[in-house]
Structure 1
Amino acid sequence: MSAWKHAHQSILSGQALTVIGLALLLLWPLRSFVAALVYNNAGSVLLDRALLAPNVAPEQRTEWAVQAGRAFQTALAWDPLAGQAYYNLAAVYGLWQDTPSAERAISRAAALAPRDVSARFVFGQALAA
């Protein structure tokens, strides 16, 4: 390999590292939001499985609900203002028939998104129960 080609590749790889470094620096403040989004979405998939999967043993449904609850709690650890994670966590608590925890979670979701009609509706149902 010629010295010119080697120098050119070194410059390109240095530029690539600079671009990657700048991208990470700019996106770093969003890491909590992105992590919360990922965990909330993973929990949603698990919760949907627990609720909707046909021909599944009750133990498997329980395990999926437990995993969903952990995912939502992890999402909230990353971003305590993730209203959708509170909403989903309330659904998990509802499955477990833990009404006080479900009420706290849905209350927090409704407080974080005062215009979210579904959160308000579910919160009202929880209070009426």
Structure 2
Amino acid sequence: MSEALRGYVKRRKLMRGGAEQVEVDLRTDGIGHRVSFMGRRLVKVKCDHEQGCRIDTVYATVRKQFAVASKVHRVLPSWAEAKEDLWSHPETWDKEFWMVGDRMLTVFAILGELRAADDELAERVDSVLRVAPCEVLDI
């Protein structure tokens, strides 16, 4: 009981600093699993990808690292281009229809490592870090 209470108090302190429980669904070679950690979402970036639209979501973890969750939303198949109502096709009902490839989580110890991997993404993260995570207004 006391261990559960200590865990609760620790999570509440982290939440006051802008952190929250983050859960990310991952998939590698068709095998899915979920990971969770305490952190704060910093930025979500969408960019063109050869198979669709790549989405990178960057989190600042409570251990001062940067976690990047990456996934690719697919380009719609040719039969869907002229259709206004995609939901009439049962294959579109599954969220896997909309995803291509693996969903990955990459953790970088410092911003410099992220910069070496993706300079543009690191620049966006750097600009977000200059803003306070939580501002209390006296209004």
Q: Per the shorter chain, which TM-score range?
A: under 0.3
Normalised to the residue count of structure 2, the TM-score between the two structures is 0.27
Q: Which has the higher contact order (CA 8 A, sep 6+)?
A: 2
Normalised to the residue count of structure 1, the TM-score between the two structures is 0.28
The structure carrying a bigger strand percent of its residues is 2
The structure carrying a bigger helix percent of its residues is 1
Structure with max Cα Rg: 1
